Chain A
Amino acid sequence: MAEEKKSSRSLATKAAASIPKIVRANLAATIKAKEEGKKVAYAYIMDSQDEIMRAFDIVPGWGESFAGVCAAKRDAEKYLQKAEAENFSRSLCTYATCTIGFDMCREELGGQMPEGAPWGGMGKPDMIIGSAQQLCDPRFKWPQATKHYYNDVPVFVGNAYYPQFNRNVNHHEEEPMYVKYMRDELMELVRFCEKHTGKKIDWDRLSELVDLTERTWDMFYDAYDLRKAIPTPMDTGDAMNTMVPVTFNLATQEAYDFYKNLYDELQEKIKNKQGVAKDEKYRIVWGAGLPSWFALGDFQYFNDRGAVFPVEVTYRNLEKIEHLDLPQTNDPLERIAWRWVRYYSHWFDAARKRPGSTPKVERVIEYLEDYKCDGVVYHSAFSCRSWHAGIIHQAQVLKKVYGDIPILIMEGDIVDISSYNEAETHNRIDAFIEALAAHKSKKN
């Protein structure tokens, strides 16, 4: 996302190249909102709250995007240090500490935008909308910690859970209670937004936004599905950019249009047999992990060696709606709840069928097969337990239930550049590519 030209990565799609503009516009919207009489909410991705915020015309300020921009510009250190000086440990989520550091700087300036804030900075929130869901602890600790500097800004934290996978439990029996709970919590959010915007919820508009979101998920899915082509017309290096609309602009027409354009562009590339790599030799699944935003050039390093990523788990936080088998309901909140619960649980059945497997592993296996891949790369970022704890286990289970395929686990961080060593990373990639070559020749 949001990468500057510092890295040598050449973007394969026009769509990806247009992303920095969208990111800038999102940030600018948080600053313009005041003039337009709109409310700004600090918000956190994948919290199932997009449609509701948009229904109230609340402008989301995404800390994860802002911190990603700071990281991509290699300009996060000043904020990380600021937070650290206030006793926020360096081992905490660096998206959070980077943004909190920025907020602290602004408060010290009496609310003025700190000079040199990357891409103009993020507007001050009128409210903070967090979610204590299973995605990660910072999703509710970060809002709470931010309030320490913005004492008067109201904070909402709701819950959005899904069943935990257990081979001996039929999760279908538990789903309805999770859906009901999530629906109740979304209703709490509606009440919070009504109170702090002074508007009443327009249920019809909310339903339309839920429709739009479902259409956007499908359009995204269909566009990404085209990456199955050989050679692949787009890889994960681009996807780390093209994830922006579905992640930060969900429930807007722009997001839908973006994926429609991407779809058209990829079809064109396939027609012209235009691949990401000059000579595509190896196809790899990006199995898990947020990338090092300051080192997206590493994707180019893979591409230059004939290795491409036609598919990734990261930031593909959706599924084709028809695969989710959603129960019929007209209640928009319940629709949101079912969609998210099933997004998580719909690999459970497959995992139960393959002895010893897990849902995350099933997902990787599906991608290995559907996208004709030869190996898997994971990235383990030290400051985020949520996506990165359990990767070793995933890799072990994958080998056990699926066979011995080349797997690389890279280590680094999302924002904190001090953890990164380019030469070492490239050596590890070289060794992995050799393993891929050996594996392929053994197979043939």
Chain B
Amino acid sequence: MTEQKTNGLATAAKYYRDYGSRARELKAAGKKIIGYLSALGPVEIMTAAGVVPFRLKGNASEAITQGDAYMETIVCPVVRNIFEQALRGNYEFLEGMVLPHQCDSIDRTDDVWADTLNLPYWHYLNVPHVTDDPSIEFMKQILRLLVASLEKLTGKKITDDDIAQAVKVHNENRQLMRNLYELRKSDPPLISGAEMMQVLVACMSLPVDESSALIKSVTEEVKARPAPTGPKGPRVMIIGDQIDGLGLIEAIEGSGAKLVMDDLSLGSKMYWNDVDVTPDPIQGIAERYLRKLKLPTTYVGDGDTYQENLEARFGHMTRYIKDFNVNGAILFIYKYCDPYGFDVPPMKSFIESSGTPVLYIEDEYSAASLARVKTRVEAFLEMIA
């Protein structure tokens, strides 16, 4: 922790490189590590239970060699790759997993994960896809089931006070991350997209207090170092689900652009919306994950007109574009992803109608296609320069 105070970026880089190393230490110290997938993992409840929430990531440099024997290749590539990592034993420290119902690729492979990994603890969180009042009530019940199953795992009661306290620390954590994002607003940004990716990835592998300490330390370090000089380059935002590696980011920044903002499931989607403090803390959590978090897997029907509906679904993206002074957006969507895939035409036209050019790329989760992606990114950057 002292190390983080003085050298946050190096620590983030280390945790990015050796993903899970801190969880391994914590496990050795007697902590229970619970893995989860997607931005729908209710970290507040896991923290309240005294376990360490650990978001699983893939590794785009590694081809799938074992997973295809268990999981179809029509499952979305990021889920397949993460499964591969788990299968190879890279997450051997996990006590169990919470699998939130984000999409078919997760829902339909729940039993594949559970039976193949065979961990002591397994919980499927059946998150609804709609946001009306009955859905909030249902979501609260679903979250209460998670509370009960974690109580069984730890043998310890989770009180509403524990949950309220966890909400508080996670909200603080989100605020700290938003403060760090602020440093991307200057031109050129004070922190590069590659550095930011390492921080985001590192944070999803840490207990919330350590994550907060790391963000603070990075923020101080970045503020203290001399501002970058050199050519400014076009300012780019990236939109997608779990992009958790440096490959694409380096392809963008290596072409002279600056990645200044994201709408990714491990980036702003995780950090932009706080949980409201409500008398029943579960209420606030249910509302955040269903109504505030903007994921294409949650159906949003709001708005009297279609334009208003688009605004409700994608308006945050154009706000980011304005606030972070973005010149171009890259929609990076995984093949076989129905939730994001069906959103491409409306999302693209909505952003373009605000005057910002969009590059849409559909790809695998693999370093093998990076050269091709880089060529397309370069052509796009030339166009918007």
Contacts and interface: CB of A to CB of B under 8 A. Distances in A.
B89 interface: no
A161 interface: yes
A385 B343 contact: no
A213 interface: no
Interface string A377-393: 00010111110111111
Contacts of B336: 91, 385
B296 interface: yes
Interface residues of A, number: 57
A437 interface: no
Given A89-B341, A91-B336, A174-B145, A155 B301 contact: yes
Nearest to B313: A144
B373 to A, nearest CB: 15
B103 A137 contact: yes
Interface stretch (B30-38, B105-113, B156-164, B273-281): B105-113
B365 interface: no
A87 interface: yes
Nearest to A177: B141
A163 B126 CA distance: 8
Interface residues of B, number: 55
Interface stretch (B132-140, B176-184, B237-245, B320-328): B132-140
A389 B75 contact: yes
B157 to A, nearest CB: 20
A25 interface: no
5 contacts: A145-B342, A145-B343, A151-B306, A161-B126, A389-B108
B74 A380 contact: yes
B141 A390 contact: no
Nearest to A359: B111
B346 A145 contact: yes
Contact of A382 (B74, B115, B122, B123): B74
Interface string A120-159: 0000000000101110111011101101100110011111
Given A87-B344, A91-B341, 14 more contacts: A87-B348, A91-B362, A140-B129, A144-B346, A145-B345, A148-B306, A159-B130, A163-B126, A384-B74, A385-B336, A389-B105, A390-B111, A392-B69, A393-B116
A157 B309 CA distance: 14
B72 interface: yes
B329 to A, nearest CB: 14
Interface of A: 86-89, 91-93, 96, 130, 132-134, 136-138, 140-142, 144-145, 147-148, 151-152, 155-159, 161, 163-166, 168, 174, 177, 181, 184-185, 188, 356, 358, 380, 382-386, 388-393, 396-397
B341 A88 contact: yes
A137 B128 contact: no
Nearest to A158: B130
Contacts of A385: 74-76, 104-105, 108, 336, 338
B260 interface: no
Interface in B66-118: 69-72, 74-76, 101, 103-105, 107-112, 114-116
Contacts of B69: 392
A141 B345 contact: no
B380 interface: no
Given A91-B341, A152-B306, A391 B72 contact: yes
A260 B147 CA distance: 49
B342 A96 contact: yes
A164 B342 contact: no
A93 B129 CA distance: 18
A96 to B, nearest CB: 7
B104 A392 contact: no
Given A140-B299, A165-B111, A181-B137, A389 B306 contact: no
Contact of B130 (A88, A93, A157): A157
B116 to A, nearest CB: 8
**Which of B108, B114, B123 has the most C-beta atoms of chain A within 10 angstroms of its own C-beta?**
B108
A152 B309 CA distance: 11
Given A159-B130, A164-B126, A174-B145, A392 B72 contact: yes
B132 A142 contact: no
